[in-house]
Structure 1
Amino acid sequence: MPSMSSARLAALTVAAVCSAAAVVPTIVFPTPAHADSVRIHDIQGTTRISPYAGQKVADVAGIVTAVRTYGSSRGFWMQDPSPDDDPATSEGVFVFTSSTPKVAVGDSVTVTGTVSEFVPGGASSGNQSVTEITKPSVTTVSTGNAVPAPVVLDEKSVPDEYAPTGDTAAAGSINGLTLAPSTYALDYYESLGGMNVQVADARVITATDPYSELWVTVKPHEHPSRRGGTVYGSYDARNSGRLQIQSLGSTADFPTANVGDTLEGTTTGPLDFNQFGGYTLVASALGTLHSGGLERETTKKQSRDELAVATYNVENLDPGDSTFDKHAAAIVNNLRSPDIVSLEEIQDDNGAADDGTVDASETVNKLIDAIVAAGGPRYDWRSIDPVDDQDGGEPGGNIRQVFLFDPERVSFVDRAGGDSTTAVGVTKVHGKAQLTASPGRIAPTDAAWSNSRKPLAGEFVFRGRTVFVIANHLNSKGGDQGLTAQYQPPVRSSEIQRHAQATVVNAFVKDILSAQKNADVIALGDMNDFEFSDTAKILEGDGELWSAIKSLPRSERYTYDYQGNEQVLDQILISPAIRRGCDFEYDSVHINSEFSDQISDHDPQVLRFRP
């Protein structure tokens, strides 16, 4: 069966949804063909799996509330205007027609078909299933009927607790558990699946993406960030007020929103579930966008005796991209030209073309030239080319970390011997730690780095003081189960490799600190994990490192915005010598993650300190 209703799967041009006709107060249903006709709430049942799954049902009655005429999941939603008294049973259901439906909003219909449980993304995704009626035979009984009033989703109606714990007998699945809609947010949303719902004056917490989707919160006071988002601060605080919004009609007029904007008035439509965001309000009527006036941040310029070190994921940058001038302007104007910039996701000179090219000189020099044109310094740079197609990322792109540094402010210690497969080590010379190669890669042949980026280590000197910098891009979270998965708590399978990588990096830092207890060491980059995660704890070890983003107020701890949760993926971890005395400043510079016109999906981070 084709996939469900994400806007990613919709055609670029979408037919408009039929509008409701004049209201007729009397709803006419036919006499049931048999006394025990099945109602929608019977089909939905009190768990996530229909008691009628796989069975044929006849003469299921309802009012058409919305019609989807586009994409690979065409059909319509219908709702029983005479609900039962069980809050666990939904009164709405999606009827999958596969072709353009021949019904209109307000039609009273009966449907005969097969009840199916469709899993968006397939069973391996771990997603919940959507109860549908498939292979339908549809009879229109009357037209122009009133659509059942939408259920209002707000701070009072949605529970704070997010999800029940899965049944251990079913390997952690919540599918067989009886819904508790007054206790768990996921159960509440499930009990409304397929029904007409509404949000009012909803604040945007994830900006509009290229697929015409955004996220709002129905709980404006739930872990708010200083700039209007919702912060994801622990595994136990998954923010139950988050809800994805798509358009049921043409996406041409979908609002281009940033975090902190508001959809004023009401946004109404059926509550769906899809592969790319879980529970989604597919709006037949959208609120009016009101701008919150969010502006990009600018960090403070480092003083003469401060070293400024930054990390910035530039999202698969290659010479064919049109974002060089924008990245350069961000580095010069928003980051204030840091002395050292660790770049992640620098691709080779022909991008995704998979022809054996690994050199990235053209990519890096094009960015350096753009920085100069923007009024910044002419950075020098160091990196090590990966082995072709061995470091993950976009196939053929050969992404890697690159050090930019301002030679007028800081010098790089070049020490021969580093290459794509040779491991850098640590020695002790005249009582000081020293890398055996600079730049060098940390344990590049270790299994921890299979199909993943290898850390790049370098030795820098600022005002006579050596600073060791380790640039990282740890294993992606891709493949982890979503927060709305049928398995609770969701399985985070990507952690296995990331934990192994963090162990290797921490061991390398230990080697430096064993050789020189007071060494200035910075491990930074796209760690692909949260500041409260076990990955961060492994990196920090027994005090060898500390994630400096934890020096910020909780409302400012985020570098990325995913499905309505502002979260930390990028980190700068510092050794005790830097942390001691708190003589440092940390800034997560929000220039991308909250904006619809982002040039990267990550916000850069800047650390300023006096070595």
Structure 2
Amino acid sequence: MASKSSTRLAALTVAAVCSAASTVALTAPAHAGPAPAGSLRIHDVQGSTRLSPYAGKQVTDVAGIVTGVRGYGNSKGFWIQDPRPDDDPATSEGVFVFTNEAPRVAVGDAVTVSGTVSEYVPGGTSSGNQSVTEITRPTVTVVSSGNALPAATTVSARSVPRAYAPEGDDAANGSVNGLRLRPARYALDHYESLEGMNVRVSDARVVGATDPYTELWVTVKPRENPNRRGGTVYGSYGAQNTGRLQIQSLGEPAGFPAADVGDTLTGTTSGPLDYNQYGGYTLAAREIGTLESGGTERESTRRQSARELAVATYNVENLDPSDDTFAAHADAIVHRLKSPDVVSLEEIQDNNGATDDGTVAADETVGRLIDAIVAAGGPRYDWRGIDPVDKADGGEPGGNIRQAFLFNPERVSFTDRPGGDATTATGVRKVRGGAALTHSPGRIAPADPAWEDSRKPLAGEFVFRGRTVFVIANHFSSKGGDQGLTAQYQPPARGSETQRHAQARVVNTFVKEILAVRKDADVVALGDINDFEFSRTTHILEDGGALWSAVKSLPESERYSYVYQGNSQVLDQILVSPSVRHGGHLTYDSVHVNAEFHDQISDHDPQVVRFRP
């Protein structure tokens, strides 16, 4: 860091207004009276709860050393920290000063700040996120420059408690905002007690790959629910993994490391501790450790034997003809998945992608993928699908995402029964002592309210070595709108589950209808379930023993298909009927080719099950 002149004689005044998304706490606790000029310290502003006792009030000449400057984005400003801390571990010594324009201060400046204390909620109050204590509309006076920064507080396995968060206050609708912080007992309280302060992590293992927004996730607890590839597994609602921390850069994005899960940021990564909409507590790094490769490589599964049927699910993330990922997806299907007999594809977009002009056909999208698979040395797949009603199935506006079946006609045949379309439901009937679909391909209960603005399940009837196999391709509603793990409400609300629960009941009922006709029918229900293997959604799918989530055949540490905020977790699942589960020879593989890598072509890992019908 370049040295500055030791003294600036002129005062620097920066006028600012709060951003539109900011939220000001209009009331403060009764004990917080007017702030005496020149006597208020940063820890007084922060207080011992998540909300400042001075929220909404004017403060004068709050002193600190500038520890970080953010001159980009919608939250321009800088952090200051008091180099003379108090003896209360619950009160932070740092605070963010929101300027709304590129700040005219530098790291190492000693400043005094006068302005209004506010509580800014990233994402707005409806998000349920915690707030960030800020000083807004500031007048800033630079007292001196080139000062040593307050020593960074180390965030480590030893400092972060095992317990994640306190239970929210019932009288405050489950909010933890009014509770006194207990940083030695709860991880979220520990991080909150460091809000705005200069912190550091050392030799931190990467558990969430670098994303397009130049951010990644590390853990300071490498032994916390680890998997063999360096990630941190989210295996229950009570295992939030307290060691996770997001890293962003205060420097140029071009210098940010391109990290994969299992890599390590060696040495020191340090900077102010922020809180943002997309990851909660975030180290805004002034300096970033050196990236050391963990050697994580893309996986390949084994090829199915002549007697095994291989069925896979793969979310290809809004694939449309304009994308440049067809060859990479084809390589994954041919060389990583070993050309499964049946592939359920999710997020196939229509022939002109997000262009919203009424187009719903996807033959060009699927055709390009089939051609790319042949070019990669794979079979020429055939395919089946049903075009949705325009703009009725959610997803990217104009994209009309849907599921589609690829199948290898040299290994498996498709039983076509016409009549299925976007609004016509397929059913189950008895034919020569066995179960059969009335429409194949067909949609399951497309008019049911469970599928409002969501993808409808696609059912198909296949024959392998003379045995009928029913395959149901799903893409349940997303988790969008759920409160994050770091929300002010603890435990956080998961409102999106309501629709997935309804969807799971529809699919479970349909499978039971098949099994009622033939109890030993082979049924595979698979896709992007958008929920965990331990979730209520999965339990409803499994109700009555109709289905079983085959990912549970893997060790708990290996159950994941997606990495979100540093948590390796299950979203994609393959569920099977009792005859498939107990028929012997069932093997399951979550093939890690995307979710752990910064250069992913999809954010989901494909899944494959092999069995002998």
> Which TM-score band applies after superposition, normalised by the shorter structure?
over 0.9
Partner of 1:66: 68
Are 1:20 and 1:105, in contact at CA under 8 Å, matched by a contact in 2?
A: no
Partner of 1:147: 149
**Partner Cα distance (1:241, 1:529) in 2:** 23
Letter in 2 for 1:591: V
**Partner Cα distance (2:91, 2:534) in 1:** 37
CA shift, 1:428, in A, is 1.3
**Partner Cα distance (1:300, 1:438) in 2:** 30
Partner of 1:451: 453
Letter in 2 for 1:228: G
**Partner Cα distance (1:34, 1:472) in 2:** 62
Partner of 1:273: 275
Change (3 A) 1:94 1:512: same
**Partner Cα distance (2:6, 2:239) in 1:** 43
CA shift, 1:66, in A, is 1.2
CA shift, 1:78, in A, is 0.5
Partner of 1:352: 354
**Partner Cα distance (1:19, 1:328) in 2:** 50
Alignment of 1:582-597 (within 5 A): 582-597=584-599
CA shift, 1:430, in A, is 2.0
Structure 2 residue runs without a partner (length 5+): 8-34
Letter in 2 for 1:289: L
SS in 2 for 1:208: coil
Moved more, 425-434 or 514-523: 425-434
Are 1:308 and 1:339, in contact at CA under 8 Å, matched by a contact in 2?
A: yes
Residue 247 of structure 1 pairs with residue 249 of structure 2 = yes
CA shift, 1:489, in A, is 0.7
Can you list the C-alpha shifts for 1:535-561, whole angstroms capped at 9, x where unaligned? 000000111100000000111100000
**Partner Cα distance (2:460, 2:433) in 1:** 19
CA shift, 1:34, in A, is 5.4
Partner of 1:80: 82
Letter in 2 for 1:90: S
Can you list the C-alpha shifts for 1:456-510, whole angstroms capped at 9, x where unaligned? 0000000000000000000011111111111111111110111000000000000
Can you list the C-alpha shifts for 1:408-449, whole angstroms capped at 9, x where unaligned? 000000011211111111111222111111011000000000
**Partner Cα distance (1:219, 1:578) in 2:** 39
Partner of 1:127: 129
Partner of 1:552: 554
Partner of 1:231: 233
Indicate which of 511, 514, 527 corresponds to 1:512.
514
Partner of 1:476: 478
Are 1:19 and 1:104, in contact at CA under 8 Å, matched by a contact in 2?
A: no
Partner of 1:573: 575
**Partner Cα distance (2:415, 2:43) in 1:** 70
Partner of 1:210: 212
Are 2:583 and 2:612, in contact at CA under 8 Å, matched by a contact in 1?
A: no
Partner of 1:10: none
Please report the TM-score for the alignment, with normalisation by the length of structure 2: 0.94
Letter in 2 for 1:197: V
Can you list the C-alpha shifts for 1:36-80, whole angstroms capped at 9, x where unaligned? 711100110011000000000011111111111222222111101
Are 2:426 and 2:439, in contact at CA under 8 Å, matched by a contact in 1?
A: yes
Can you list the C-alpha shifts for 1:218-245, whole angstroms capped at 9, x where unaligned? 0000000110000000000000000000
SS in 2 for 1:356: coil
Are 1:315 and 1:344, in contact at CA under 8 Å, matched by a contact in 2?
A: yes
Are 2:300 and 2:336, in contact at CA under 8 Å, matched by a contact in 1?
A: yes
**Partner Cα distance (1:502, 1:167) in 2:** 32
CA shift, 1:514, in A, is 0.5
Partner of 2:340: 338
**Partner Cα distance (2:75, 2:521) in 1:** 59
SS in 2 for 1:322: coil
CA shift, 1:21, in A, is 4.8
Partner of 1:11: none
Partner of 1:366: 368
Partner of 2:531: 529
Indicate which of 291, 294, 297 corresponds to 1:292.
294
Can you list the C-alpha shifts for 1:2-41, whole angstroms capped at 9, x where unaligned? xxxxxxxxxxxxxxxx7555999xxxxxxxx957711100
CA shift, 1:583, in A, is 2.0
SS in 2 for 1:327: helix
Indicate which of 328, 331, 335 corresponds to 1:329.
331
Letter in 1 for 2:427: G
**Partner Cα distance (2:397, 2:2) in 1:** 45
Are 1:21 and 1:105, in contact at CA under 8 Å, matched by a contact in 2?
A: no
Partner of 2:307: 305
Letter in 1 for 2:110: S
**Partner Cα distance (1:600, 1:125) in 2:** 26
Letter in 1 for 2:582: R
**Partner Cα distance (1:54, 1:208) in 2:** 37
CA shift, 1:188, in A, is 0.3
Change (3 A) 1:35 1:471: closer
How many residues are treated as equivalent by the alignment?
A: 586
Are 1:22 and 1:145, in contact at CA under 8 Å, matched by a contact in 2?
A: no
Indicate which of 402, 405, 419 corresponds to 2:404.
402
Letter in 2 for 1:193: E
Partner of 1:177: 179
Runs of 4+ in 1 over 6 A off after TM superposition: none
Letter in 1 for 2:238: D
SS in 2 for 1:511: helix
Letter in 1 for 2:248: Q
Indicate which of 407, 411, 414 corresponds to 1:412.
414
Letter in 2 for 1:73: S
Partner of 1:193: 195
**Partner Cα distance (1:319, 1:108) in 2:** 55
Letter in 2 for 1:365: G
Structure 1 residue runs without a partner (length 5+): 1-17, 25-32
Letter in 1 for 2:121: V
Letter in 2 for 1:523: A
SS in 2 for 1:510: helix
SS in 1 for 2:343: strand
Letter in 2 for 1:305: R
**Partner Cα distance (2:148, 2:374) in 1:** 63
SS in 1 for 2:516: helix
Partner of 1:500: 502
SS in 2 for 1:454: coil
Partner of 2:379: 377
**Partner Cα distance (1:22, 1:238) in 2:** 46
Letter in 2 for 1:529: D
Are 2:5 and 2:145, in contact at CA under 8 Å, matched by a contact in 1?
A: no
Change (3 A) 1:20 1:71: farther
**Partner Cα distance (1:34, 1:537) in 2:** 58
**Partner Cα distance (2:108, 2:36) in 1:** 25
Can you list the C-alpha shifts for 1:65-107, whole angstroms capped at 9, x where unaligned? 1111222222111101111111000000001111222222111
**Partner Cα distance (2:445, 2:535) in 1:** 23
Moved more, 523-532 or 161-170: 161-170
CA shift, 1:197, in A, is 0.2
**Partner Cα distance (2:286, 2:148) in 1:** 15
CA shift, 1:109, in A, is 1.2
**Partner Cα distance (1:602, 1:104) in 2:** 41
Moved more, 363-372 or 95-104: 95-104
Residue 222 of structure 1 pairs with residue 224 of structure 2 = yes
Residue 601 of structure 1 pairs with residue 603 of structure 2 = yes
CA shift, 1:141, in A, is 1.6
Are 2:429 and 2:517, in contact at CA under 8 Å, matched by a contact in 1?
A: yes
Are 1:328 and 1:367, in contact at CA under 8 Å, matched by a contact in 2?
A: yes
Indicate which of 84, 103, 109 corresponds to 2:105.
103
CA shift, 1:581, in A, is 4.7
Residue 160 of structure 1 pairs with residue 162 of structure 2 = yes
Letter in 2 for 1:482: G
